[in-house]
Amino acid sequence: MSTDPARPFGRVLTAMVTPLAEDGTIDLAGAQQLASHLVDRQANDGLVVFGTTGESPTISDSEQHAVLEAVLDAVGDRATVIAGVGTNDTAHSIEKAQSAARLGVHGLLVVTPYYNRPPQAGLLRHFTAVADSTDLPVMLYDIPPRSVVPIEVETLVRAAEHPNIVAVKDAKADLGAVMWTLARTDLAYYSGEDMLNLPLLAAGAVGVVSVVSHLVGTRLAELIAAVEDGDLVRARAVNESLLPVYTGVFRTQGTIMVKAALRELGLPSGPVRPPLVDATPEELAQLRADLAAGGVAL
């Protein structure tokens, strides 16, 4: 687990899928096996459980409780476990945050409320209310492609005044806003969009919350180390080698494709839950080709 205050959740974090049995029920043993694999074999020093890739909108509170408990039991003494607790209902998000805190998670991921499109004042009130509800460090999740509403720089500056709000997972694709926020706050930035890992790290991000790290976590650790060493030639080379992986995993939808890849590798994943649908044979063939071009054999 991270002991670096500038990198409060670690360097390489996976937005972990939620393994399911073929009948769609939660696979708790699979969740433990996958969490251990990511920590032991893919250089992860943190896991985000029930982010976007964990299919959080289709997971019940009781299921979330059981999976978090299982993952903490498997890796909680050697990796930072962050619970995704954000919803578009502030009261429900607080309940989820307090439940996760009681289990012993190490941090919270709080996404911008989606669908109801709150103004910036509403975002700030939502984030600070959730942050007030526990003593845990909070990572905000800025992802306007899913939430519609971006977290504006001024809102991030004000949110950063809260002692528990310490980081941002950025999937906004606005490098200017990232650089302004970094200049005006002490928030730790994590890349939340794999295709932009290198530019975000070069701009000052301290790590990644990645989907492709299910498959190439060790190479992402190499990318981060190269940027930290100031070796941008090596960083660009590593990043270029990963471009087919980034593209392949997100051709259709990240959860669908990474679960398909994990199945091919014999790792726990299972089907996706509706309204998602599993990869077709044609999509799987394209994924194999993409990953092979990126040095990952299925």
Q: Which residues are catalytic?
A: 141, 169
In the numeric block, the tokens 């800025």 are attached to 142
Terminal-residue alpha carbon distance, the chain:
30
DSSP string across 103-121: HT-SEEEEEPPPSS---HH
Structure tokens at 287: 């994924």
Q: Which of 269, 288, 297, 244 is nearest to 53 (CA)?
A: 269
The C-alpha angle with vertex 205 and arms to 241 and 207, in degrees rounded to 5, equals 65
* DSSP of 37-90: HHHHHS--SEEEESSTTTTGGG--HHHHHHHHHHHHHHHTTTSEEEEE---S-H
